Structure formats: structure tokens, C-alpha cells
Amino acid sequence: MRTEEQIIQFLQTRHSGGGRAGGGRFGNRMAVGIGDDAAVFRASRGSDWVVSTDQFIEGQHFIADCHPPEVVGYKSLARAASDLAAMGAAPFCYLLNLALPRSRTGAWLDGFARGLARASRQFGLRLAGGDTSHGKTIGIGITVVGSAAHGTALTRSGARVGELLYVTGTLGHAALGLELVLRGVHGSRGAMPLLQRHYFPEPRLAVGEWLAARRLPTAMIDISDGFAKDLHRLCAASKVGAVVWEGKLPQFGIPAAWSRLRLKSLELALHGGEDYELLFTVPWRRRTRIPSRIAGVPVHCIGLVRSEGRIQLEGFTGRTRPLSARGWEHFRSGRS
Amino acid sequence: MRTEEQIIQFLQTRHSGGGRAGGGRFGNRMAVGIGDDAAVFRASRGSDWVVSTDQFIEGQHFIADCHPPEVVGYKSLARAASDLAAMGAAPFCYLLNLALPRSRTGAWLDGFARGLARASRQFGLRLAGGDTSHGKTIGIGITVVGSAAHGTALTRSGARVGELLYVTGTLGHAALGLELVLRGVHGSRGAMPLLQRHYFPEPRLAVGEWLAARRLPTAMIDISDGFAKDLHRLCAASKVGAVVWEGKLPQFGIPAAWSRLRLKSLELALHGGEDYELLFTVPWRRRTRIPSRIAGVPVHCIGLVRSEGRIQLEGFTGRTRPLSARGWEHFRSGRS
């Protein structure tokens, strides 16, 4: 049995040399191919096109009996839009693939469409096409299309040793919401504010565009599967390592009223998924051009890019320990 | 319960006005939106981008126990590529969403990837990105990206009364193959040649490009769900009717050895799905510019565009009868 990463690698290998005449007649127009947050097509003039696709599958990315259909509709588009944010691309439109059991084509679909339309308005993404089909379980596939000024789209692979590491917003809020749902206490009094980021995450589109337009970052990724896991991805693509300062991490504080859940905010911040914040690297000399807020979102300097090999967390005392790539792996069978 | 067409219409309605500031800041760049074979994004100069997405779902579009994984891989891309052919677009790249049960990540995935890579080479479509996930059943979503010279992409909506109706290749061959599979005789002696078009259909990319480059058709669609059903779609989009000459239809002849199946070739040609031929309309004065073969594929003049309201089949005696929109509706529960 192959893991998700192995499947991607396997498909990539099988496809090397795909396209007409080794690379295809448009080969030179694909500026970024597989393996980043999105593919980039270089136009001869004007804007480049940025395209990404994502799935939102019942039992994997949501639980139909727990998550309201509005949330499923909203999140499926938010998740895909976050890939555009990670490239610094301006959102343009999206295409929807939808497989539904017949029992979901009534009230459930109404709610789903409401959530999707809300996200569509909020992110500036118009529905441009799609396909619907019957399916045994709910399957959603979303392809987003955006644009970026010629050559400005930000990949994961440009980070260099000595650069500074930045992250937007807060980390762990979405994972806390997920824990409330998994423990079945999301209906409890006072839970609603804690569910907001799990239910209605906000892809950092304006921040991404702001940064890309000024060409400030050298590499960028969105945090979808957890800070640590996505930091490892950025470092692997850039062939670098990193040190993260624990004291600078913008952890979401767990309210005292929920201490009975025995959750650790550092654990949620490092390894919880679905924050959809941006993680990016900036050369030392450009650090003064990064404000403390961009488009209303706080921006934190949280570490340094080091040479390849080690990704570490530096505690309050200055002692370092390895930061594992462990992250959110959808709903594992042993979990939900 | 909503039908597939009702779901699309419903989602469209919910999304009117989606995007930033009524139409969005890129609104003027979307030349063709939802409802055609693909969406078209108009670049300020040079080529327009053509994007379409399609699903290929276990139990709906294929039966995992009957259809070899190579066939599933090949067909999933062929089906999506055919939408580019229908726009007259040149193929560029594709993105893959793949949901798989764990039992399918070994030998099945090997075969699937082989079929996909074969189609990728054959159609000149490079893999540019994607997403994989666990799923209870096999779900495949493919987004294809192509390009067309500024303003040349062909929609379904341009047909005018008095124009001629053309179709490529033959009709009904793919449906015959499907019938052999559904009746469980696809392993019989001599069946293999009849399965070819059902297993490995050939989207008419070169024909579509040839026609679009010369701006000969006024409207075009690919025949995915059956000649009659897709003719109805083209006529509805163009607000016209049509008469089809039965004697001119390029029906696939059923070999005498298979007469025991009691299949009618006209029925398969009119209402069987998955031919992936092109159906298009041409003004009378341009008829001399349509050769009898384009890129090696026979082209047949099969009827006339009439005023809105009626779509008819004219028999050998000159008598007409209504041509219903009945087509292939995936594997209905009562069928397979």
C-alpha cells in the first residue's frame, strides 16, 4: 500500500516525458509544474495563470453527520483558495466536481450551495464550470484559477540559508475546533467561537497578493496539514533546514474553561491542521519592509532558515529539539 | 431529489453575482462561463485559456470489476480531453484528483497510471498538479487546460437556422462495446475489436483544432452522452432546432456474428454514449471548405439546422419523426 506522498511521486515518475515531443509544445510555458501549491502557466506577456486542484471527501476531510453542509461548502472552496494565496495569486474563478448520493441532493445540497456561494463572494472566485454525478459518498473536487503578474508567483523552493521565517495569524485555533467536534462537545455552551476557524477558515489571499506584488518572500506555502508538516515541505523543496523559536510562535490560547480537555496549545499550533495561514521566508536585508500587519492580519517573525538536514524547535531556555514532520492526516481510522 | 441538470442549474443560480463587485475584477476576462464544454479566459493578447473539469466515478462511469485499470486511467483523461476538442482548443496540461480505497493503491494503481500515461502522451497533456486522498470507492476528477488563438474557441451556442450539421467518425461503436461488457460477453472470442472504442476512445483534438483555426464551424459539441442528447444540448444553447438525415448517419455496423445480441445499430448510434465524436454546424456558404476527412477522420454532413422547437429524424422515405433527447445516463441502477 502506498501513502499519499508515494502515490504523487509514483504518478510523477510515470509521467516524466509526458506531453508531445518531450515536454510538449507548451512545455516552456509551464513555469511551475507538479509539487508546489499550484501550477503556473507563463503567458508571453501580461499575467501568468495559476491553477490548483483539491479534494474534499466525506469521511476524510469532513464528517457528514458532524459538519453542517454550509461548512462543507465553504471549506471546500476555502481550502482550494488557500493554494492561490500561497502562490501570491489573485483569485479569478473555480470549477466544481461534485459526486453525491441521492439522499444529499435536497436539503443537504441547499446548505452546501449556501456555504459555497458565501465563500465564492468572500474570496472573489466565480463558478466557471464543473461536473455533477451520483456517488456512494460525498466527493467534492475544486479547481481554482488565479493570476499573478508575470514572474511573481511564489513557490516553495526559493528559501536560502540565513533568511528569516515568517507566519501569519495564529496557529492551532482550527485544530482546537476539530478536537471539539471529534470529542462531540461542539454543541456545548461557549463552543461556538472556538469552532469558527475550523468551520470557516480564512485563506490569506490579500496577504499573499500583497507580498507577491512587492516580491518580498523568497518562498511561501500555506499551512493546510499543520505548521511542522508544511515547514518540512517548504524546507525539502528549498533544500534547507530551519530553526523555529518557540517563544515567537503565535499559538492560539486555549480558554481556561476548556482545560478539562487536556489539550496543549503548542501541540495544536505545531501539528494541528487547517490553519490556512501563510508561512514564508524573507532575506535579512528586506526584513524592515515586512510590517507587523498586512491587510489586517498579524505577521510574526518566528525563526531562521538554516542549512539542509535539521528542522529544530528552540525552546524558551535556548535548548533545541528536533521538530518532527508529524501533521494532520485527515481522519485516521483510529481517531474518529 | 434533483437530477444532474437541475443540480447544475441550481448551483448556477446560487452563484449569479458571485465574485468581487458583481462579476469580479476579472469578469470581463471570462469569455465563456458555465454551461459549455469548457470555460474560456480571454487574455488581453495572444492565446485564450480553455479550462474544463470532469469526473470518472466507480459504479457510475466504470465498473471496477469489469473495466481494467488501464482503461479507467486512459478513459478518465480521454473524456476530459474531449471537452478541449469540442472547443477547438490545443491541449496543454491537466490536474488530477484521485480518491482511492487502500486496496487500490497497489496493482490497480499501477495499471491506472499506465493507462493515464498512455493517454497523456497520446493527447499531449502533461500532468501539472493534483491531490490524492483515501476514499471508500474510486473517484477520479480531471481538469484539463488548453489554449486557443484569441477568440477562436467554439461554443455550443452559435448555430443559426439554415446551416449544415456535421459529425465526425462513426456513431455507436463505443456503445456496442459497453453492451458487450454489461452482458458479460466481453471475454468472448472476437469481442476485442468491438471493445476498442469503448475502452480507448479517441477525442478528436486534431479535428477540433483544425476547424477552430479556420473558424469554419459556428457551434460545436462533443458527443459524450449520445448523439441525440448532445444534439439537443447544442440546439438548446443555440436556440434552434434540427433535422437529421437517417441515411447519412455514420452508424457503426454490428458484425453478423453478434446478431444474437439483437442490438440495433441506429439505436446505438443515436442514443449510445461515449463516442467522443464532434458535432458541429457550418454555414451553407462555407460547406465547400469542409473536406471529407480532417486529420484522417471522416467527416459527414448529416442534417440541417432548423428553427427552434423541433429536433427530427428524417428516414429513408422522407418521413420525419421526433428525435428524443434520450441518452446514456451512466450506469443506472436498473441497468447494470
Return the bridge partners of A233, or none.
none
Q: Tell me the pLDDT tens digit for each residue of B6-23.
A: 776 777 676 654 433 333
Instruction: Identify the band that residue A23 occupies on the pLDDT scale cut at 50, 70 and 90.
Output: very low
Q: Quick check: A14 and B116 CB within 8 A?
A: yes
Return the bridge partners of A139, or none.
A57, A99
Q: Tell me the pLDDT tens digit for each residue of A33-58.
A: 767 777 887 766 678 889 999 999 99
A142 and A217 assigned to the same domain? no
Which grid cell sits at A232? 518540512
Share of chain A above pLDDT 70, in %: 88
Interface test with B, best of A13, A44, A58, A134 (most B CBs within 10 A): A134
* pLDDT over threshold 70, residue A332: no
DSSP, collapsed to helix, strand or coil, labels residue A300 as: strand
Instruction: Identify the band that residue B334 occupies on the pLDDT scale cut at 50, 70 and 90.
Output: very low
In whole angstroms, what is the distance from residue A69 CA to residue A74 CA? Answer: 9
* pLDDT over threshold 90, residue A331: no
A122 and A232 assigned to the same domain? no
Query: Which residue is listed with cell 472470442?
Result: B189
Average pLDDT for B91-109 = 92
In chain A, what residues touch B4 (CB-CB under 8 Å)? Answer: 132-133
Average pLDDT for A208-236 = 96
In whole angstroms, what is the distance from residue A196 CA to residue A78 CA? Answer: 13
Query: pLDDT value at position B43?
Result: 66
A316 and A171 assigned to the same domain? yes
Interface test with B, best of A3, A5, A9, A11 (most B CBs within 10 A): A11
| CA-based nearest residue to B145, from B71, B83, B200, B192 | B83
B198 and B282 assigned to the same domain? yes
Angle ∠(A138,B146,A220) on CA atoms, nearest 5: 70
> Would you call B334 exposed, middle or buried from its count of C-beta atoms within 10 A (0-12, 13-18, 19+)?
exposed
In chain A, what residues touch B109 (CB-CB under 8 Å)? Answer: 2, 7, 10
DSSP, collapsed to helix, strand or coil, labels residue A311 as: strand
In chain A, what residues touch B39 (CB-CB under 8 Å)? Answer: 93, 95, 128-129
A149, A180, A215: which is the final residue of a domain? A149
Query: pLDDT value at position A24?
Result: 42
Query: pLDDT value at position B45?
Result: 66
Interface A-B, measured as beta-carbon pairs within 8 A, has a size of 273
Q: Quick check: A59 and B136 CB within 8 A?
A: yes
Q: What is the CATH number of the domain that holds A32?
A: 3.30.1330.10
* pLDDT over threshold 70, residue A67: yes
Q: Quick check: A51 and B11 CB within 8 A?
A: no
Angle, helices B4-15/A107-123, rounded to nearest 10 degrees: 40
A55 and A112 assigned to the same domain? yes
* pLDDT over threshold 60, residue B240: yes
A88 and A188 assigned to the same domain? no
Q: Quick check: B126 and A44 CB within 8 A?
A: no
B176 and B312 assigned to the same domain? yes
If you average pLDDT over every residue of chain B, what do you get? 89
> Would you call B88 exposed, middle or buried from its count of C-beta atoms within 10 A (0-12, 13-18, 19+)?
buried
Instruction: Identify the band that residue B331 occupies on the pLDDT scale cut at 50, 70 and 90.
Output: low
Residue type (1 letter), B58: E
Q: Tell me the pLDDT tens digit for each residue of B110-123.
A: 999 999 999 999 99
A93, A124, A149: which is the final residue of a domain? A149
Query: Which residue is listed with cell 436556440?
Result: B239
Average pLDDT for A73-101 = 95
Smallest Cβ distance to A53: which of B55, B59, B95?
B95
Q: Quick check: A93 and B19 CB within 8 A?
A: yes
A94 and A232 assigned to the same domain? no
The verdict on residue B227 lying in a domain is yes
The chain B residue lying nearest A48, using CA atoms, is B43
Q: What is the CATH number of the domain that holds A222?
A: 3.90.650.10
| CA-based nearest residue to B300, from B207, B206, B199, B203 | B207
Average pLDDT for B216-234 = 96
Smallest Cβ distance to A19: which of B97, B125, B135?
B125
A141 and A206 assigned to the same domain? no
DSSP, collapsed to helix, strand or coil, labels residue B205 as: helix
Phi, psi of B132 (to 5 degrees): -120, 150
The verdict on residue A11 lying in a domain is no
**H-helix or E-strand containing A93?**
strand A90-100
In whole angstroms, what is the distance from residue B119 CA to residue A18 CA? Answer: 9
The verdict on residue A132 lying in a domain is yes
Q: Quick check: B2 and A117 CB within 8 A?
A: no
DSSP assignment, residue B330? Answer: S
The verdict on residue A236 lying in a domain is yes
A74-88, A106-120, A318-332, B141-155: segment of lowest average pLDDT: A318-332
In chain B, what residues touch A19 (CB-CB under 8 Å)? Answer: 93, 120-121, 124-126
Residue B115 structural domain: 27-149
Q: How many residues does chain A have?
A: 336
The verdict on residue A61 lying in a domain is yes
Smallest Cβ distance to A113: which of B10, B30, B109?
B10
Half-sphere CA count of A53, side-chain side, radius 13 A: 33
The verdict on residue A16 lying in a domain is no
B144 and B107 assigned to the same domain? yes
Phi, psi of B11 (to 5 degrees): -65, -40
Query: pLDDT value at position B322?
Result: 97
If you average pLDDT over every residue of chain A, what do you get? 89
Q: Quick check: A129 and B18 CB within 8 A?
A: no
CB A211 within 8 A of CB A219: no
Query: pLDDT value at position A6?
Result: 72
A23-37, A263-277, A280-294, B196-210: segment of lowest average pLDDT: A23-37
Q: Tell me the pLDDT tens digit for each residue of A148-190.
A: 988 899 999 999 999 999 999 999 999 999 999 999 999 888 8
- Measured between CA atoms, how close is A227 to chain B, in angstroms? 19
- What torsion, rounded to 10 degrees, do the Cα atoms A192, A118, A276, A71 define? 50
Instruction: Identify the band that residue A329 occupies on the pLDDT scale cut at 50, 70 and 90.
Output: low
Q: Tell me the pLDDT tens digit for each residue of A219-231.
A: 999 999 999 999 9
| CA-based nearest residue to A274, from A332, A207, A329, A217 | A329
Domain tally, chain A: 2
A311 and A171 assigned to the same domain? yes
The chain A residue lying nearest B38, using CA atoms, is A129
* pLDDT over threshold 90, residue A330: no
B227 and B114 assigned to the same domain? no
pTM: 0.90
- Measured between CA atoms, how close is B139 to chain A, in angstroms? 8
B149, B179, B210: which is the final residue of a domain? B149
The verdict on residue A237 lying in a domain is yes
The verdict on residue A5 lying in a domain is no
Query: pLDDT value at position B38?
Result: 79
* pLDDT over threshold 70, residue A336: no
